[in-house]
Amino acid sequence: MENVIEAQRPEHSLITEQSKMSGYVTDCFSIEISRAVKLSDFIEAFYKTPLFRLERVVLSLAPKGRMRDADVTALSKGLTDRIFIWEVETRHDAQILLSAGGTKSWLMVQPIEDGTRLYFGSVLVPSPSKVKGEAPKVGWLIHSLMGAHLLYSRLLLQAAVRRLMQRG
């Protein structure tokens, strides 16, 4: 099994257009797994990893409630377009884009010769500029947290792969 790498987003990805927009910040990571994986399985594995469960605990402190495993399963099966703070913006057979305020999360599966290439990416949506004529941009606080975000993204994708491999 390969390691998680920072990857070029496929041209047909749901975040390609936003990666070209002024002020938007996008990232894309991928890993290859030696088995066939459907998007529904990837969603389920990703949002039920022990690492993401920690994020769910932190997010449960927000007034919007909690994210339960049943919610994740409903999302993975396409039975809901909303899960906790995220709303499905776009979904195709092989990829999904979820948005929550100024952030978006993207998952994609791509069949390859000996298995599946899994992708995970994020989009940070810029705030409109308060200065007339100035392009929108992501704030300094977000930029200062990018290193931690990129590490966390890699760890989430690796954790999803471990979960997929355990499930057999």
Q: What is the CATH number of the domain that holds 129?
A: 3.30.530
Q: Which domain holds residue 97?
A: 5-167
Report the phi/psi class of residue 78: left, alpha or beta, with left for phi > 0 and alpha for psi in -120 to 50. left
Residue 43's closest CA among 103, 9, 11, 88?
Answer: 88
Q: Is residue 80's pLDDT more than 70? A: yes
Characterize 49-76 residue by residue with b for buried, 16 or more Cβ atoms within 10 angstroms of its Cβ, and e for exposed. bebbeeebeebeeeeeeebeeebbbebb
Of 137 and 107, which is predicted with more confidence? 107
The pLDDT score that the predictor gives to residue 125 is 85
| Average pLDDT along the chain | 86
Of 130 and 101, which is predicted with more confidence? 101
Mean pLDDT over 117-121 rounds to 97
Q: Is residue 32's pLDDT more than 60? A: yes
Mean pLDDT over 68-74 rounds to 92
How many percent of the chain have pLDDT more than 90? 54
- Residue 124 CB-density burial (10 A; 0-12 exposed, 13-18 middle, 19+ buried): buried
Please report which confidence band the pLDDT of residue 55 belongs to, taking 50, 70 and 90 as the band edges. confident
Q: Is residue 1's pLDDT more than 60? A: no
Give the number of other Cβ atoms within 10 Å of residue 111's Cβ.
12
Contact 86, 99 (CB under 8 A): yes
The pLDDT score that the predictor gives to residue 98 is 95
Spatial distance between the Cα atoms of 152 and 150, rounded to a whole number of angstroms: 5
The pLDDT score that the predictor gives to residue 135 is 61
Residue 156's closest CA among 31, 62, 58?
Answer: 31
The pLDDT score that the predictor gives to residue 133 is 62
Q: Is residue 77's pLDDT more than 60? A: yes
Domain count, the chain: 1
* CB half-sphere exposure, 151, CA atoms < 13 A: 4
Of 18 and 139, which is predicted with more confidence? 18
